Structure formats: structure tokens, C-alpha cells
Amino acid sequence: MGNHDTYPQDDVKDFKARDNKAFEEYAPSWAYFIHDKEAMKTFLDYGYFKLPLEKDGKKLATVISLNSNVCYDLNWDAFIRFQDPGN
């Protein structure tokens, strides 16, 4: 999730699990890519996930999707109250 992916812009505050409704709204679109239940839970909780990239059952790499709102220093409200989502 980027800072322009929510409305109002930068609407990410406390970085607590299930704190942002936008993650739930995006989840059906991302379900095609996030096929792992634990990864989807992390996405719904905090807006980021990681998944193995596999071909023919062999892991080739790890896909990491970041929530770029975490540490976005121009969202001063969130920056002041920063917490590491998911520890």
C-alpha cells in the first residue's frame, strides 16, 4: 500500500492490526496473488506480505510487498506515532 492508495491520502495512523479499512477493500483484488492464508492475514492486518515465488514446486525467490506508509516521513501524524507493524 502506498500513501496514495487510501482515501483520504495518507490515512494510515496507528499501524495496529486491522486498523485500516482500505486493506480489506483491496483484499479481493490481491487474493489472486496472495494465495497463502498467513500472508493474506498479514496483508489484512498491516498492508504488507511476503510469498515464495515458485515454479514447478521449486522456490526461485521471495516476493516482498511493502506498505510504504510505514516510515513515510511526510505523513507527520503517523511518523510521530510510529510503531513497527507486526513487530
Q: Which residue has the higher pLDDT, 57 or 75?
A: 57
What are the phi and psi torsion angles at 61 (to 5°)?
A: -170, 180
The pLDDT assigned to 53 comes to: 92
Model confidence over 6-43: pLDDT tens digits? 766 666 666 778 877 888 888 999 898 898 999 999 99
**Would you say the C-alpha torsion 40, 52, 86, 46 has a positive or negative sign?**
negative
Q: What is the pLDDT of residue 82?
A: 67
pTM beyond 0.85, yes or no: no
| Residue 66: strand pairing partners | none
In this prediction, residues 3-8 reach a mean pLDDT of 69
Write down the mean pLDDT value for the chain: 82
What was the pLDDT predicted at 85? Answer: 67
